[in-house]
Structure 1
Amino acid sequence: MIEVYIDGASAGNPGPSGAGIFINANGTIDKYSIPLGVMSNHEAEFHAFIHALEICLEKGYDGSLVSFRTDSELVNKAVEKEFVKNKLYSPLLERALHLSKKMDLFFMKWIPSAENKAADELARQAIKKNETGEQTTS
């Protein structure tokens, strides 16, 4: 099973934002800290999810059981219901659903923030990288 922890963060709302993605693929750990520019925290959460889906598809995880973990209730509920009230997020949700349907075994679970510290730290690092345009993966 592939476990993917995602988080989006903003310094201000809107403000400089970042995506943090922590992937545990059967013991192999990958970390991503992606600067997103200026946006709201909710937008950053959706972008983190979209980036994580794209990474998983690029890595060929589409045939594996992939479990996404997020502390964003908005993103989790939007994916579960395939609907979001705020029309600003509709295109982001549509993109995320399109990508998630390319996976054979896709699962998303809401987790408390305390269980998402690795992705949160990566997202906060990404906020600082907005000034340099740097992106970190490991």
Structure 2
Amino acid sequence: MYQIFSDGGSRGNPGPSAYAIVVTKDDKVIFKGSEYLGINTNNYAEYRGLIAGLTKAIELKAENVDFIMDSQLVIKQMNGEYKVKAENIKNLYLDAKALSSMIPNIRFRNVRRTEMLIPMADALLNIELDNHQ
């Protein structure tokens, strides 16, 4: 079982933005990554983190993935509980759905920022933003 922890954010909304992901397998960190995204919204950054995590899972040929984020909006949209209304997010959502369909067993969960490895992803995100100021 792979677990992917993702966080995205912006300083200002919109503002300088980035995402970070942490991938674990059998409770061991096997990958950490982040990317600066320029001036964007928080939700844009959250979705880019989701897409990066899904892409990594596909690279790893992961068949069982537990995807964990602190973004309730993104998780509820991916689980079909909320509709995607923002025009600038629709294509990202469609990309994420297409990528997630390539993973046989995937679950999307929302947790508080302080739970599990979300703080590690949050720290990577902030380092990425600090490096671009």
Please indicate, yes or no, whether the TM-score normalized by the shorter chain is above 0.5.
Answer: yes
**Contact map agreement 1:17 1:130 (CA 8 A) in 2:** no
What secondary structure, in the 3-state scheme, does the structure 2 residue paired with 1:114 have? coil
Q: Distance in 2 between matches of 1:85 and 1:122?
A: 29
Higher relative CO (CA 8 A, sep ≥ 6), structure 1 or 2?
1
- Residue aligning to 2:112: 112
Q: How many residues align?
A: 129
- Residue aligning to 1:57: 58
**Contact map agreement 2:10 2:40 (CA 8 A) in 1:** yes
TM-score (structure 1 length as normaliser): 0.87
Q: 1:28 to 1:114 in 2, by over 3 A?
A: closer
- Residue aligning to 1:38: 39
- Residue aligning to 2:71: 72
What secondary structure, in the 3-state scheme, does the structure 2 residue paired with 1:84 have? coil
Letter in 1 for 2:55: E
**Contact map agreement 2:17 2:39 (CA 8 A) in 1:** yes
Q: Distance in 2 between matches of 1:99 and 1:73?
A: 20
CA deviation after TM superposition for structure 1 residue 83, in Å: 3.1
Unaligned regions of 5+ residues in structure 2, if any? none
CA deviation after TM superposition for structure 1 residue 15, in Å: 1.1
TM-score (structure 2 length as normaliser): 0.90
- Residue aligning to 1:125: 127
RMSD: 1.4
Question: Structure 1 residues 19-28 or 95-104, which shifts more?
Answer: 19-28
Deviation string 1:75-134 (CA, Å, 9 cap, x unpaired) is 001101173122221111000000000000111100011112111111111213346xxx
